[in-house]
C-alpha cells in the first residue's frame, strides 16, 4: 500500500450531490488501504464565470488580481469536499497551495511549479487523514498567489504525486478514458487501455482535451503512472498512461487528433541569407509566442528568396502580425499572408518509429477523400497535416478507419461538439 493521488475536475464537482459522490470515491480508495491526497478543480464552470465577471469590469484586468480571483474557485471545492468526507465519518483536512507550499515561479496566470513542500503532507498522512488540496493555484517564495494556466489542476495533481513519490495519480473526469479519437466525431472510437507518455503528450497537444499537456510532461519526467478514469463509472478501469519502454506496441498508429485553434502565416520573399529565419523567430520568441509547424520553401536560384510559412495559436495572431510588420521591413520581405481556415489533423503512435509507409498511407487516404493538404510536419511519433477547417471532420473519420482504430462498440458521447463539426 502506498500513496494514491486522485484529481477531480469541475464536472465531477458541479453540485453538492456530485461532491458527495466524489467523497465516496475518495473513501473507496482510502478503504483499499492507501494514503489518499485529493486535488480538486473549481465546481462546474466556476472559473469561466469568474473570468466573465472580470471582463465586465476590465478589458485588460491586472494579472495579479486575476490570480487572486480565479484561485477562489478551487478553495470552495476543497472546503465542501472535505466536509463531505467528514460527514461519512472519515478524518480529512483541506489545504490551499500556500498552506501546502506549492511554490511557483513569479509569473501570474501561467506559473510553473518549482517546488512542493512535502513535510506537512507526509505528517498529516501519517496521522491517517485524507488531504484535499486546491489545484490550479500556487504561491511564490514571497507569498504571492499564482495560477498555473487554465486546466492546470491536472498539473498540480501530477506534481504532488511526483513529490510524494505516489504509486499512482488517478485523474477522474467525465469521460471513460483516452480514446483513439473524439467519439463525438467517430462513434466507434476505441478506449485505449494503455498509452505512453510520449503519445499522450502528442495527443494532448494536438487537441485531445482529456489532459493538460504540462501534466503529461511532468508525469513523464518523474515517471508517475497516470490513469484517466470516469467519476461516474467507478467500475471501469479507464486508460493507463505509462513509459513507452514498459508497454508492448502492437499498432503503428494509436490515435488521431485535430486542432482548430491555429492560424497559418506566410512571410513571402525573405532574402535567402544566413540569419534571416533566426531573425523572424527570435522576435516572436521574445514576445513569448510559440510557433508550431514551420516550412521554409526551396530557394529558386533565379530569385534567391524564400517563403517562410508557420502556424501560431489564433490568440497570438494580432501580436504576431505586429511583430512581423517590422520584421518584413527589416528583411525587405514582400508580403504577409494569413490563413485562418485551417485545422491540424495528426496521427500519433509510438509504433510508427522506423516503419516507412505510414506517411504515404496517410496522404493517400486524405487524397482519396479529396482533402487537400496545405502543410505537413512530422516527428518520430506523429505526422500532422494542415487541411481546411471544413475537411477536418472527414479527415479524422477517414484516418481513423484507414489505420483500423475502431472498436465494435459505440462510445458514449458527452458534451458539446467541437466547433469545426
Ligand atoms: N479551474 C481551472 C480551470 O477551469 C483549473 C482546472 O480546472 O484545471 O481552468
Ligand atoms: Mg479541467
Q: Residue 10 C-alpha to ligand 2 middle, in angstroms?
A: 6
| Closest residue by CA, ligand 1 atom 5 | 151
Q: Is the separation of the CB atoms in 299 and 270 below 8 Å? A: no
Residue 315 in domain: no
Grid coordinates 466556476 are at which residue?
46
Phi-psi bin for 12: left (phi > 0), alpha (psi -120 to 50), beta?
alpha
Q: Helix 358-368 to helix 392-402 angle, to the nearest 10 degrees?
A: 130
Q: Which of 7, 8, 9, 10 for a ligand 1 pocket mutation test, highest count of atoms within 8 Å of Cβ? A: 10
Residue 213 CA to ligand 1 centre (angstroms): 13
Question: Is residue 17 included in any domain, yes or no?
Answer: yes
User: Is 269 within the bounds of a domain?
Assistant: no
Provide the pLDDT for residue 416. Answer: 56
Q: Does a structural domain hold residue 10?
A: yes
How far does residue 46's CA lie from ligand 1's centre (Å)?
9
Residue 231 lies in a domain: yes
Rounded-to-integer distance, Cα 230 and Cα 216, Å: 18
pLDDT in tens for each of the 421 residues of the chain? Answer: 799 999 999 999 999 999 999 999 999 999 999 999 999 999 999 999 999 999 999 999 999 999 999 999 999 999 999 999 999 999 999 999 999 999 999 999 999 999 999 999 999 999 999 999 999 999 999 999 999 999 999 999 999 999 999 999 999 988 888 999 988 889 899 999 999 999 999 888 776 678 888 999 999 999 999 999 988 888 888 999 998 777 677 788 999 999 998 999 999 999 888 998 999 999 999 988 999 899 888 766 667 888 999 999 998 999 999 999 999 999 889 999 999 999 999 999 988 888 889 999 999 999 999 999 999 998 889 999 999 999 999 999 999 999 999 988 776 665 555 555 5
311 occurs within a structural domain: no
- Residue 421: the pLDDT is 52
- The C-alpha cell of 356 is what? 516507412
Query: So what's the pLDDT on residue 282?
Result: 93
- Structural element, H or E, at residue 203: helix 197-205
Q: How many other CB atoms are there within 10 angstroms of residue 236's CB atom?
A: 12
- Is residue 354 a part of any domain in this protein? no
Compute the distance between CA of residue 4 and CA of residue 22 in angstroms, rounded to an integer: 15
Within a domain: 341: no
How many whole angstroms from 43 Cα to the centroid of ligand 1?
Answer: 9
* Domain around 227: 3-246
**CATH number, domain at 74?**
3.40.1160.10
Laid out side by side, the sheet with 137-139 consists of 113-116, 102-104, 137-139, 145-147
Structural domains of the chain, count: 1
Q: Which residues have any ligand 1 atom within 6 Å of their CB?
A: 9-10, 41-42, 47, 73, 135-136, 150-154
Cα–Cα dist 176/191, whole Å: 8
Q: Which residues surround ligand 2, an ion (CB under 5 A)?
A: 9, 151
Amino acid at each position: 500500500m502506498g500513496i494514491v493521488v486522485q484529481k477531480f475536475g469541475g464536472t465531477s464537482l458541479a453540485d453538492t450531490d456530485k461532491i458527495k459522490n466524489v467523497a465516496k470515491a475518495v473513501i473507496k480508495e482510502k478503504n483499499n488501504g492507501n494514503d489518499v491526497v485529493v486535488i480538486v478543480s473549481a465546481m462546474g464552470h466556476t472559473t469561466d464565470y469568474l473570468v466573465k465577471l472580470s471582463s465586465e469590469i476590465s478589458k485588460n484586468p491586472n494579472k495579479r488580481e486575476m490570480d487572486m480571483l480565479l484561485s477562489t474557485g478551487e478553495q470552495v471545492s476543497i472546503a465542501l469536499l472535505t466536509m463531505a468526507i467528514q460527514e461519512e465519518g472519515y478524518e480529512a483536512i483541506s489545504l490551499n497551495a500556500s498552506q501546502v507550499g506549492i511554490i511557483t515561479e513569479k509569473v501570474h496566470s501561467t506559473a510553473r511549479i518549482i517546488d512542493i513542500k512535502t513535510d506537512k503532507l507526509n505528517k498529516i498522512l501519517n496521522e491517517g487523514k485524507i488531504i484535499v488540496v486546491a489545484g490550479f493555484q500556487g504561491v511564490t517564495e514571497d507569498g504571492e498567489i499564482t495560477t498555473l494556466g487554465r486546466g492546470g489542476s491536472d498539473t498540480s495533481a501530477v506534481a504532488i504525486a511526483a513529490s510524494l513519490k505516489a504509486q499512482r495519480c488517478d485523474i477522474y473526469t467525465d469521460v471513460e478514458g483516452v480514446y483513439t479519437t473524439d467519439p463525438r466525431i467517430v462513434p466507434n472510437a476505441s478506449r485505449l487501455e494503455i498509452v505512453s507518455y510520449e503519445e499522450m503528450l502528442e495527443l494532448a497537444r494536438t487537441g485531445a482535451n482529456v489532459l493538460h499537456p504540462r501534466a503529461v510532461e511532468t508525469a513523464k519526467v518523474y515517471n508517475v503512472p497516470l490513469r484517466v478514469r470516469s467519476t461516474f463509472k467507478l467500475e471501469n478501469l479507464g486508460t493507463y498512461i505509462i513509459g513507452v519502454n514498459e508497454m508492448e506496441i502492437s499498432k503503428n498508429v494509436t490515435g488521431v487528433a485535430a486542432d482548430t485553434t491555429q492560424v497559418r502565416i506566410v512571410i513571402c520573399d525573405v532574402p535567402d541569407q544566413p540569419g534571416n529565419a533566426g531573425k523572424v523567430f527570435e522576435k516572436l520568441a521574445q514576445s513569448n509566442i510559440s510557433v508550431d509547424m514551420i516550412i521554409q520553401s526551396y530557394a529558386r536560384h533565379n530569385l534567391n528568396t524564400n517563403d517562410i510559412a508557420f502556424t501560431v495559436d489564433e490568440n497570438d495572431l494580432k501580436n504576431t502580425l505586429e511583430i512581423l510588420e517590422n520584421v518584413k521591413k527589416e528583411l525587405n520581405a514582400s508580403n504577409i499572408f494569413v490563413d485562418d481556415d485551417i485545422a491540424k489533423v495528426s496521427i500519433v503512435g509510438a509504433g510508427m518509429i522506423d516503419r516507412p509507409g505510414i506517411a504515404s498511407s496517410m496522404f493517400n487516404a486524405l487524397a482519396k477523400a479529396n482533402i487537400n493538404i496545405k502543410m505537413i510536419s512530422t516527428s518520430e511519433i506523429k505526422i500532422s497535416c494542415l487541411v481546411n477547417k471544413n475537411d477536418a471532420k472527414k479527415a479524422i473519420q477517414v484516418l481513423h478507419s484507414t489505420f483500423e482504430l475502431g472498436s465494435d462498440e459505440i462510445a458514449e458521447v458527452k458534451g458539446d461538439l467541437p466547433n469545426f463539426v
